[in-house]
Chains A and B, each alone.
Chain A
Amino acid sequence: MFSHLVWKEWRQLGLVRWGGIALAAILPMAFVAGAEMSKRGWLPTAGLRTYQPHDLMSEVLPYAYALAVWPLIALMSAAQAFAGDRAAGTESFLLERPVPRTTTWAARAVASIASILVVLAVSVLIAAIVAWMAEGTQPMVWKRWMLLWAPGLPIVLLGWIGCAVASTVIPSPLGAVLAGAVVGGSPVLVGAWLGIGFPYAEVRGTPIGAGLPVLMLPGFVLASWSAASRGEPAGRGRVKRGLTIALAGLASVILLFVITAPIAVRAGVASGTHGVVPSPAGRFAFVGNNWEGRGGGWLVDVAAGDRRFFLPPPISDVTWGPDGTRLAVVTWSGPLGGAHDHSRIEIVNADRAAIERTISVRDDAWIADLEWAPGGIVVVTMLDKEFTAAIVDPDSGSWRPTGYRSKTPFGLVTSGPAGRVYARVPNYEKDDKGEKIVRSFSFLALDLAHAKVTSPVVDAAGRTIQFAGVFSGISPSGRYARISGRGEELDHPGLADLTGDGYLPHLSGVPWHWLEGDRMMWRETLGDRTRLFLETPGQAPTVVREWRNASVSIALSTDRKSVLVSAVTFVKPPAWAPDAAQHDPRLFEGEAPQGRVPEEGIYRLGDGAWTALPPFSERQYDGKSSDWAGPKTVAHIAAGVVAFEDIDAPGKPRFVLGP
C-alpha cells in the first residue's frame, strides 16, 4: 500500500519537480543574460558594469540555487503534497478507503522530500558543469565550492516543515507556500529574539535561546501529522489541532528556555576562567567570570568555600566596601540572562547574602568606573560622551555630583594612604605620525566629604605630577609615586619622592607593586633568567629569588604584607617583555637564591620568609593560575575550576567551582 501511495504522490508532484529542474536549468543562462545586460547598461543595476563568468558561475550561482531555488521548491513540494488533494477535491478518495492516515501522511512526506532531493541533485549537477565550463584560468576549489551550498540545507528543512504545518491549516497550496515561509521562519525569529535578547543564557559561547527553537521543528512535524492523521477524517478540528500543537511547541520552547536559562546562565558563569576579588577583611570573596568581560559570579564564604549568592552577568565592576561586609556591583543584567539598557549599582550584603539596595543611575547614564572609599562610593558616569564623577551613599542610594565634567574619559584609582580615591585623567600628546597618544596621567584627589574633585597631585615644588601608566600610582604612605619620564625618557617611567625634589634613583622601567612600608616589588626577565626584586625607595634593590626559563607572576595580599609567587615553565616570552637593551645590567649581577620550576610560594615581607606551596600551574599558558582569596587563603584557578587552599594547611582544596 505504502509504495502505491508514494507512487501516487510522486506523480502528483511531477509538475513541481520538473518546474524546479527547469528553473535550475534556466538560472545560469538568466544570470549570464542579466550580467551581460547590466554590463551594457540595459538594466538599472547598482554599479554592476563588469563581471567575471568564473565568479558568477562558481560563487554566485550556488548561493542563488541554495537560497532561492531550493527553499522555493521545498515550500512548493510540501504544499502540493499536503494540500494538493484538498485543493483538487480528491482528498476524500483515500479517506473513504481503508488507508491509515498516518501512512498517507508518511507517503506524502517521502514523495515530497524525494522530489526536493531530485531538484537539489540536479541543480548541483548543473552548477558543477557550469562552474567547470567557466573555470578559465582560475582553478576550481571544489571543496570550498561544496560548502557554498551548505546554508541552503537548513533553509530547505525549515521551509519544508513550515509548509507541512501550513498546508494542514490552509487548503490552498499557494496560501500554504506563503504561510509555510512564515511558519518555517518562525524558529529563526524566535531564536534571534531569545539569542539576542538573552545572550548570557549560553552554553560554550552559544546562547541557548538561539538553539532551543530547533525543538519547534519536531513540534511542527507533530502538528502536521496530528492535523492530518488524527481526529475526524473530514477535517473538523484539524486547524485547531494543528495550531494548538504548533503553538504548544512554541510555548514549550519558551517554557523550556525559562526553565533552563537560569541554569545556563550559572553554567556559563561557571565555565571559562575566573578572577577572585577578596574582601578587605578576608571573610568573603567575589569569584567572577573573566571571559570576554561577561562578568557574573558568586559571593563566596572563604572559610567554607561555599557559594552564597549568585550575581548574574553582565557585571563590569565590583568593589568591596571598606569594612568588607558589603560589595558594590555594577551590572545591567536582566532576567533569564538578558540585559537592560543601562547599568545600575547593586549593594550586596555579604552577611545576609542578599541585595541590600539597587541604585539606579540618573539620566540613563552608563557607569564607567567606581571605587568604594570610606566616605562613600565614587562613581564615574558617562552620558553623551561626557564623563562626570559623583559620590553615592551606599546606605541611602543618594547621589552627590562633584560637578567635575570631562570630555576626556577618566577612571578612578584607589591609591596612597587610607584608600584615597583619585580621578586618573589622561594627558595626551601626538606621536611621530601625528596620532593622539596618552603621555601620562594626572591624579585628581576626590574630596568625598564635600563631593569635590580637587586639583591635580603636585610635588613639593608645586608641579603637577605626571603619573606613568595605570599601574603603581602612589605609595601606601603617599610619599612616592611612579611617574612618567621626561622628554626622551617618556618610555622609562621613574620613581619620584613627592615630598622632595625630582627623581629617585631606580634601575628598572618595569611597573612595580607597592608593599607595606612603601617597598616596591617587581620581577624582570633577562635571557633565561627571571628575578624577583624588592626595593625600598632610595636604596639599591635586592634580589628575592631567581628562576631560569620561568614565567613568574606575583600577587599582593590585601594587606600588602605578603606576595604570592608562581614560577612556571617558560614557553615563550610575553610580547611586552623588555629586551636586554632596556635592562640595567646591574640588576642581573651577583648571585641570588635559586627557585625551582615549577614553584609556588608565599614571600612574607616582615621576616622575608618563603613558604612553599604545592605548585598548581606547571607551565606557561596551561590555563592555571593562583591568586589571593583571603589573608591566609589562596585561590587556584583553572578553566571552570576555582579551589581555595589555606596556606597554613596546604593540600586541602575547597572547591568553589568544579572540578
Chain B
Amino acid sequence: MSEPALLFDGVTRRFGRTVALDGVRLEVAHGTVLGLIGRNGAGKTTALRLALGHLWPDGGRIRTLGLDPVRQHRQVTTRVALLSEESALYPWMTIEEIVRFAGALHPRWDTDLAAKLVKDLDLQPKQCIKELSRGTRAKVALVLAVAARPELLLLDDPTAGLDPLVRREVLEGILGAVSGEGGSVVYASHLVHDVERVADRVVVLDGGAIRLDAGLDDLKARIRRARAVFDQEPRPDGTIPGLIAAEADGRVLTVTADAQNGSLEAALRALGGRDIVIEPLPLEEILVALLREGRKKEAPRV
C-alpha cells in the first residue's frame, strides 16, 4: 500500500465563477479517520464527491485507493462508499427492497452484514422509506454504505440534524464496521464535537483551501491556553513562543500558543507574569483560535 487511501494533489474545482476547491493538497493514510471540518460551503462535499469521482477536478490530481476516480470510476465506487446527510433513497421502496436492490448493484456486498446491521439498528424491513424518520433513514443509508464493505468510507455530515443518541449510534456503527476493520474514513462535518470523538487527524477547509491539517492528539497536546496576571497592562510581543492569540483584559493576559515551540510558562514569567494558569483546550476552541489567527496571517500548519 504505497499510495495513501486518498490523495489530493493541488486539486482545484470550480462551479462557474465560484472556486470550491483551490489547489488543495491532502493525504489520508490507510486505516485512519480524517475529520474534514469546515463551515457550510467550505468545500467539504465537493472534496468528497471529487474523491468518489462523482465530480471531476478542473486541475490537480486525485488518487482514491490508488485509483483515478475519473478514469476508474467503477472500481472506485466498488471500493468506496459515500454516506451523506441527505442520502438519496427511493421513497417508494421498503427497507428490505432497497437493501436487496443496493446489494444487487455491489459486487462486494455482504448480505449477512447487511442483515446484521438491519437487526442491530432496529430497522423494520417491511417499512417504506417514505414513512421513516430522518434518523431511521440515516440508519438505512448507513446499512447501504457499510454492507458494501468499503475500504474507504466518505461521510458527508451524515449525522447532521439527528438527535445525539442516534448520532452516537450511527457513528459507532460506522467506526465499528469500517475503521475497526482497517478501512479508512473521511468524516466531513461542521460538528466539531463529533469529529473530535472519532478522528485521528483533522483538516480544516475554509474558502476552498486547507487552513489546518494536523493530528488530533498532537494538536490537543500542544495547543494550550495560559492566563497570567501582570503588574502593569501587559504587552505581549514576539518573545512568547508559538503565540496564536493573545488578549489583554486590564492586567490579565490570556494567550493561546503552540507549546511545541518552548515553555509557555517560562515565557510569561520572563515577561513579568505571575499567578500563571495553563490549561488544555477543547478542539473547537483550538480551531477557532487557529482560524481567527490564520485569517490574519497565513494558513497555520501545526
Contacts and interface: CB of A to CB of B under 8 A. Distances in A.
B105 A90 contact: no
A236 B56 contact: yes
Interface string B215-241: 000000000000000000000000000
A93 B78 CA distance: 13
B263 to A, nearest CB: 50
B90 A8 contact: yes
A234 B55 contact: yes
B104 interface: yes
Given A232-B55, A233-B53, A90 B88 contact: yes
B89 A90 contact: yes
A26 interface: no
Interface string A94-124: 1111111000000000000000000000000
Interface string B98-141: 00011011110000000000000000000000000000000000
Contact of B106 (A7, A11, A97, A234): A97
Interface size class of B (residues with CB under 8 A): 20 to 34
Contacts, number: 60
Contact of B105 (A4, A91, A232): A4
A92 B106 contact: no
B88 to A, nearest CB: 4
B77 A93 contact: no
Contacts of B143: none
A129 B61 CA distance: 65
Contacts of B77: 96-99
A234 B88 contact: no
A1 interface: yes
A12 interface: yes
A89 interface: yes
Given A92-B54, A232-B56, A97 B105 contact: yes
B49 A234 contact: yes
Contact of B54 (A4, A88, A89, A233): A233
B101 A234 contact: no
Contacts of A94: 105
Given A8-B90, A92-B88, A233-B54, A98 B74 contact: yes
B82 interface: yes
A97 B88 contact: no
Nearest to B81: A96
B88 A93 contact: yes
A96 B56 contact: no
B90 A98 contact: no
Contact of B102 (A7, A97, A232, A233): A97
B252 interface: no
Given A92-B54, A98-B77, A232-B55, A1 B104 contact: yes
Contacts of A7: 101
A408 B89 CA distance: 81
B90 A90 contact: yes
Nearest to A93: B88
Given A91-B88, A93-B88, A98 B107 contact: yes
Interface of A: 1, 4, 7-8, 11-12, 88-100, 232-234, 236
Given A1-B104, A1-B105, A98-B77, 12 more contacts: A4-B104, A89-B86, A89-B88, A92-B88, A95-B54, A96-B88, A98-B74, A98-B105, A98-B107, A232-B55, A233-B53, A234-B55
Q: List the 7 closest pairs (A to B, CB-CB), nearest first.
A: A4-B104, A98-B78, A93-B88, A90-B88, A98-B77, A232-B56, A92-B88
Interface of B: 49, 52-56, 73-75, 77-78, 81-82, 86-92, 101-102, 104-107, 148
